[in-house]
Structure 1
Amino acid sequence: MEVSDYINSAKTFAEKAAKLSQKMSQGLVDNARELGFPGSESGAQYFDTSEEKMRNIKRQLDSKNDREKLDGLKRLIAMISKGRDVSEFFPDVVKNVVSQNIEIRKLVYIFLLRYAEQEPDLALLSINSFQKDLSDKNQIIRAMALRVMSGIRVPVISPIVLLGIKKCITDPSPYVRKTAAHAIPKCYSLDDSQKEALVEVIATLLKDRSSIVIGSTIMAFNEVCPNRFDLIHPCYRKLCSMLGDCDEWGQMSILNVLLRYGRNQFLNPNPNGEDESRLPPKKSTSYSNNNSKPFYTDSDSDTDDDEIHPNEIVDLDVDHELLLKSCVPLLQSRNSGVVLAVAKLYYYLAPAAEAEKIAKPLVRLLRTHREQCYVVLTNIATMALKRPYLFESSLQQFYAQSSEPVFIRDAKLDILTTIATEANIHTLLTELQQYVKSPNKDFVAATIQAIARCASTVPTAADNCLRLLMKLLRSKNELVVAESVLVLTRLLQVPSEEHSRSVIALVKLLDTVKIPMARSNVLWLVGQYAETLPKMGPDVLRQAVKNFTNEDHITKLQILTLSAKLICLNATHPILNSLNQYLLNLARYDTDYDVRDRARFLRALTIPSQDEKPGLNQLKEHLKTILMSNKEPAVIESEVQAASEYNVGSLSLLAHQPLPGYEPLPDFPNEQPDSSVRDVEELEGWSGSRTVVMETGFGSDSYDSYRGGSQNVRFGSGGGASTALSSVEAMGSTSTYFSSNMKKKENNYDLDAFYDESSEEAESESSGEEETSSSETGSDDEEEEDREEEETDETTSEEESDDDDSSEEKSSKINTIRDVR
């Protein structure tokens, strides 16, 4: 062999080795990139320019390798998240919309939603592929196609989107039908001329049997046709029964719709003004249907109608009662929004005596994040304005803590002053006295104002509040003294001999208090008590005139007013006239124009002149009425009272102003609307795929007849009404939930068992588990012997069952009923 042949073979071997090493390095890089190692491309990124990166991304999008396409799309999505405009890659991304890789499709759909409005012509090119994807075998692909097609903000495709929605509402997958419900508001906002067709689609979806779809359908109902209650009539009872099976967001939407529906279709449950009373109402409720009794009632116990006053009876419609009972389990939800929605429904739609159920669930929500806590506290404060008795038992739960932010503590102060009663006012004032020691000046001022509100909330404790405020006047903190003076001025503005000592104590503070607002309030109060304390006014005026030029402008105005009031009462007193003349001369050349105007006005009324105008004499005749008019008793209101006109649970309540989209609740009808519109035949299995029909036991109305003493009842036969249970109820979770956590209390649900006796039930369950676990332990031989004995027992029981239908069989069936319960 020649030398050239050796050289050629060596070159060929070197080329093959180089290609192999390049493939190995590329494979390692791809594997590292696929595993997500952060430093796999760091070296190349430092030396590549931005233009080279863009060319690399475009090459990856045009590649036939799905891995490279996926990497290029991830880079684009990362750039979008950083706020960079990458619309130049729109044509390259649209070409990958038909990819068979689901991950690539997801990223392409995200990119299309972001830039479809900027490139509407190119976005329309992908509509055909979306229409094909609506028939894909994968439900995720079908749902994603509809979601992206409805998210493209191009009005031209609204008819195509509507066709896609109509096709997806008949899809066998509930996930796709839920996506169709989400697409309805998007299509409506894109083209509102499609409203009638979308309403028909909503009416079809409301008949859906899946709890996954119902929540999204109600959201679409709220957006498109919130007042079309004729669509709710056929599915009202279904919505009440499906509340527990829906997701949390769906539950809140359904509760809001049912609240507005109840306000429109049911009578006022508090016709005698129970909401206006601050005392807890008596619990006595009667039902319009005599054959319908509460779910948890004793069948043998009959209420004496003679003992119930007619004004205390509340007639509830059967469907009204169904709604209230369906909402009770949701009070134990982990979602604070669901609990607040149920509380809102009970506050506006339930009898006042039944509203006590919402107190403890709302207090439980105070242990969440501070933002949620503030929302709950604001709504509690609004509810407590009309029904303070709901939260009186939870007084200590609203005590402020030093670690809480100021807005939380202020909200708690509003609640504490609202629920103050004669029974707890002493404890409350002791607690408020400790808050005054806080280093936060704003919180101290709010606390002093809260003490004044307690005086107006509980009139019998007004003297105690005044004594506490007078005690605060001896504080070394100047802010505490000044705020106490301001509050006392409002409480003492009506002259009386009982408050004379308090006014004298305030006057003595004029030498020490330097805050202008506090000094001006004391001077105004001296003028109001000029007749009650005739010797105090002139002396205060004498001292005030000495330091007039050094006072603040608001204090100067009150000094001028005090001088005019004293002249009005003693027009011929020479010393007072001299002081008044001297004071008006000082004010005439004051630098503040308000002081000069006030002095010019009072000079004309208090100092006689030769050329008086006719109208001025009439003013002088009524000067005492003008200056010494008595004020009405002070009503110190909080910010919550100013915003109480907005609905509980609304954002406008937090903002203290009506926000876009806010609508007040409609008033109750004067006459009962026709209830037969809700009498529709229920389809079998409407509440879930698994449905069990039970004629007795938990599903019957006479629940307590199976608890004890009714041994003549057999499982599967009885006179009770049949009830269709949903999949959750059929599996036994609902029955176990009710039997373990809900007890009877005056023929109603007792939520106290959930909060007070949960620990005891947990201990009993743990002890029962230990007994069962100990009984199940044993050797294998003993288990075999037990199995043999069970088989022999079964054979003997089968032989005896044909002849005997005695008490043993009845007792075993009763035990079965109890297990189901």
Structure 2
Amino acid sequence: MSDAKYFQRGKIHELRTELNSEKKDKQHTKKKTVLKKIVANMTMGNDMSALFPDVINCMQIPVLEIKKMVYLYFINYSRTKPDIAVMAIPTFMKDADDHNPLIRALAIRTMGYINVDKIIDALVDPLRRCLRDKDPYVRKTSAMAVAKLYMHDHELVESEGFVDLLRDMLADQNPTVVANAVAALTEISERSNTITLKLNTTVANKLAAALNECTEWGQTYILEALMSYVPQDMGDAEILAERIAPRLQHANSSVVLTAVKVIMYLMNYMTKEEDITNLCRKLSPPLVTLLSNGHEVQYVALRNILLIIQRRPEVLRNDIKVFFCKYNDPIYVKLAKLEIMFRLASVSNVDQVLSELKEYATEVDVDFVRKSVRSIGRLAVKIESTADRCIAALLELIQTKVNYVVQEAIVVIKDIFRKYPNQYESIIGTLCENLDNLDEPEAKAAMIWIIGQYADRIENSDVLLDDFLFTFLEEPVEVQLSLLTATVKLFIKRPTAGQELIPKVLKWATEDVDNPDLRDRGYIYWRLLSTDPATAKTVVLSDKPRISTESDNMEPALLDELLLHISSLSSIYHKSPQTFIPNSKIRRLTHSTVLNRKYPGQQQQQPNLLDSDIENLASGSLGIEANPYNLDVVNIGENYVGDLLLDL
């Protein structure tokens, strides 16, 4: 608080006068005060660049506090005054040889920040000396200066051999120096197309040994570098993982998540399932502990956990209660917890999960309620033994008559019908009572699919579809596709009831819409119905594959990559770094004699099965059955159909 007085707008000429005052000031107290005012104004955004020559003159004062302020000013304005900045080179060279290690390190750090050609050239010799300095503080600062220099001139760094010097520093006796050398090499390898950080077993073990004496951020750097180690012999991965395991108990969440990442990576090179199982048990407690932190850390942990349990479902399998939502959790944490709850749900804990989801479905937050209702439906698809209870829960929610709850329930009930055909059709009547509440495309499409699929069981199915068709041309494409397919199903199952609807729907789909998918589907249906109704029945009413929640799983290749990016933005977005960081390197598992590609718990990903009857055209043989319909019914628009086929 005592420095608050310096944060007042100062006039350039007054500050210059004070800075150049010749009054006796043996302790340089006045100059300290003036420099503090200048730095304060610079921090507030006031332009102090006019004082550049005057501030440079203060570089000669052998007081560390003054040098820090001068160097801070210098870094801020050197790019705008490169010609004047060059005048400071002799002072930099002198400070780089100062007897005080703090001043030597400060000079090297400052020169590394400045992107001025002559200063960069002048930095080479003192930097080489400081990389071998007797003081560890100077060495560790110089290591980071190499990384900064690489950003300015990568060719200079490579030609002067600084990368080799950094590699030699990995064997340094001081763990802080090792951590900074690792951080610099990692940064350089990420930016370079020719330099790659590769660790052998000896270096990897030395880095693991340095973990105990490093700061928390140094540990993060070293753990990150261990991702560049590729085990070549049996037992190498297990030994290194055991040495890293104590980091899981660290108080810093970054250290914990990075340790988890390295252990998950090393599991790919383990051959004994027993070792993998033991390590999975060790991963559970630290991940649970992360959920006791602030909401932001919780969210990061949850997004990473979602990746981990897709590859290693045994992690956290018995800790599902930890992911039950609290009343004061923000919505982004609640939604992340819901997804993990669903994935961890099993026959043994499904009653607890379903009870929680039913309670969540009565909350006030709309997004949370929607996700909860949808999770109940997904739970029925995932675990067959709980389908009856899930249906009962969904019917209770429909009775609440809350608009968005009803619509979400109808969407998931459609999936349940697909999963368990001919089991729960008795509830269709209840669903039809809520048609007036449907105003969202997904819910409309789901209800239309139900009406078309069970058109022969719903007495007034033609009337219900006609109500939806009233706004056909104004509906989204998703609804239009469902209406087209449902009308064709109605016509095939109940020709008399559908004969008035089918011509106008086909005409709309082929003439009055612009969407090519809708138009093509209309043409295909029209041709099928006009040439061979028996084939049309076989195609449209063919048995569809039962849906599965495995379609929710991430693509194995993307999951492999994201697991190598745990504790980064990529693991939060669940997107490859290349999608939001230009020129970032792709991480892949490197081949090794002990690389194990058989991941326990990973199943073959199923395609996302949607309600697209056109897909059935290539799904199998299309047997021709005897025409069960009166051809006169099919020929309602015979002349028009003939003209259409000629156009095709």
TM-score interval for Structure 1 and Structure 2 normalised by the shorter chain = 0.7 to 0.9
1-side partners of 2:4 and 2:514: how far apart? 74
Partner of 2:205: 237
**Pick from 298, 316, 341: which aligns with 2:235?**
316
Partner of 1:329: 246
**Pick from 73, 82, 85: which aligns with 1:123?**
85
Please give the per-residue CA displacement for 1:83-123, whole angstroms capped at 9, x wherever unaligned.
Answer: 22221111111111111222211110001111111112221
Code of the residue aligned with 1:205 in structure 2: it is M
2-side partners of 1:171 and 1:620: how far apart? 88
Distance verdict in 2 for CA 1:414–1:89, change over 3 Å: same
**Pick from 175, 187, 211: which aligns with 1:211?**
175
Partner of 1:680: none
2-side partners of 1:511 and 1:192: how far apart? 67
**Pick from 295, 299, 309: which aligns with 1:370?**
295
Code of the residue aligned with 1:628 in structure 2: it is L
Code of the residue aligned with 1:247 in structure 2: it is T
Superposition CA RMSD, Å: 3.3
Q: What does 1:704-719 correspond to in 2, within 5 Å?
A: none
**2:159 counterpart of 1:191:** no
2-side partners of 1:600 and 1:200: how far apart? 63
Partner of 1:652: 570
**2:541 counterpart of 1:628:** yes
Count of aligned positions: 564
2-side partners of 1:322 and 1:225: how far apart? 26
Deviation at 1:528, TM superposition (A): 1.9
Partner of 1:553: 475
Is this contact kept in 2: 1:388–1:419, CA < 8 A?
yes
Is this contact kept in 2: 1:437–1:444, CA < 8 A?
yes
1-side partners of 2:73 and 2:585: how far apart? 34
Partner of 2:318: 393
Larger radius of gyration: 1
2-side partners of 1:547 and 1:639: how far apart? 30
Is this contact kept in 2: 1:652–1:662, CA < 8 A?
no
Partner of 2:216: 248
**2:319 counterpart of 1:380:** no
Deviation at 1:150, TM superposition (A): 1.3
**Pick from 150, 171, 192: which aligns with 2:133?**
171
Distance verdict in 2 for CA 1:168–1:640, change over 3 Å: farther
Partner of 1:437: 362
Please give the per-residue CA displacement for 1:35-68, whole angstroms capped at 9, x wherever unaligned.
Answer: 7584x999xx8xxxx7xx2111011221244223
Please give the per-residue CA displacement for 1:646-681, whole angstroms capped at 9, x wherever unaligned.
Answer: 233332121233332353232341369xxxxxxxxx
Partner of 2:265: 348
Q: Secondary structure at the match of 2:424?
A: helix
Distance verdict in 2 for CA 1:93–1:520, change over 3 Å: same
Distance verdict in 2 for CA 1:632–1:63, change over 3 Å: farther
Bigger mean CA deviation after superposition, 621-630 or 396-405? 621-630
2-side partners of 1:366 and 1:251: how far apart? 22
Is this contact kept in 2: 1:346–1:355, CA < 8 A?
no
**Pick from 20, 29, 36: which aligns with 1:74?**
36
Distance verdict in 2 for CA 1:605–1:128, change over 3 Å: closer
Distance verdict in 2 for CA 1:563–1:257, change over 3 Å: same
Code of the residue aligned with 1:121 in structure 2: it is D
Q: What does 1:583-594 correspond to in 2, within 5 Å?
A: 593=513
Deviation at 1:78, TM superposition (A): 1.6
1-side partners of 2:461 and 2:489: how far apart? 13
Partner of 1:222: 186
Is this contact kept in 2: 1:77–1:107, CA < 8 A?
yes
Deviation at 1:473, TM superposition (A): 1.8
Is this contact kept in 2: 1:605–1:620, CA < 8 A?
no
Please give the per-residue CA displacement for 1:102-151, whole angstroms capped at 9, x wherever unaligned.
Answer: 22111100011111111122212111111111221211111101111111
Q: What does 1:143-542 correspond to in 2, within 5 Å?
A: 143-193=105-155, 194-195=157-158, 197-225=161-189, 228=196, 232=200, 234-261=202-229, 264-266=230-232, 315-317=234-236, 320-350=237-267, 351-353=275-277, 354-493=279-418, 496-510=421-435, 513=438, 515=440, 517-530=442-455, 534-536=456-458, 539-542=460-463
Is this contact kept in 1: 2:7–2:37, CA < 8 A?
no
Q: What does 1:718-733 correspond to in 2, within 5 Å?
A: none
1-side partners of 2:133 and 2:453: how far apart? 79
Bigger mean CA deviation after superposition, 165-174 or 88-97? 165-174
**Pick from 585, 589, 593: which aligns with 1:666?**
589
Deviation at 1:564, TM superposition (A): 2.1
Distance verdict in 2 for CA 1:454–1:154, change over 3 Å: same
2-side partners of 1:595 and 1:564: how far apart? 19
Deviation at 1:412, TM superposition (A): 0.5
Is this contact kept in 2: 1:435–1:447, CA < 8 A?
yes
Q: Secondary structure at the match of 1:367?
A: coil
2-side partners of 1:604 and 1:452: how far apart? 33
Is this contact kept in 2: 1:398–1:415, CA < 8 A?
yes
2-side partners of 1:597 and 1:138: how far apart? 75
Partner of 1:562: 486
Is this contact kept in 2: 1:252–1:338, CA < 8 A?
yes
Bigger mean CA deviation after superposition, 373-382 or 326-335? 326-335
Distance verdict in 2 for CA 1:604–1:446, change over 3 Å: closer
**Structure 2: gaps (5+ residues):** 268-274, 596-648
Q: What does 1:23-102 correspond to in 2, within 5 Å?
A: 38=5, 53-64=11-22, 65=25, 66-102=28-64
Code of the residue aligned with 1:342 in structure 2: it is A
Distance verdict in 2 for CA 1:125–1:667, change over 3 Å: same
Is this contact kept in 2: 1:113–1:152, CA < 8 A?
yes
Using the aligned pairs only, state the percent identity: 28
2-side partners of 1:365 and 1:372: how far apart? 7
Please give the per-residue CA displacement for 1:362-383, whole angstroms capped at 9, x wherever unaligned.
Answer: 1101111211111111111111
TM-score computed with the length of structure 1 as normaliser: 0.63
2-side partners of 1:342 and 1:597: how far apart? 48
TM-score computed with the length of structure 2 as normaliser: 0.79
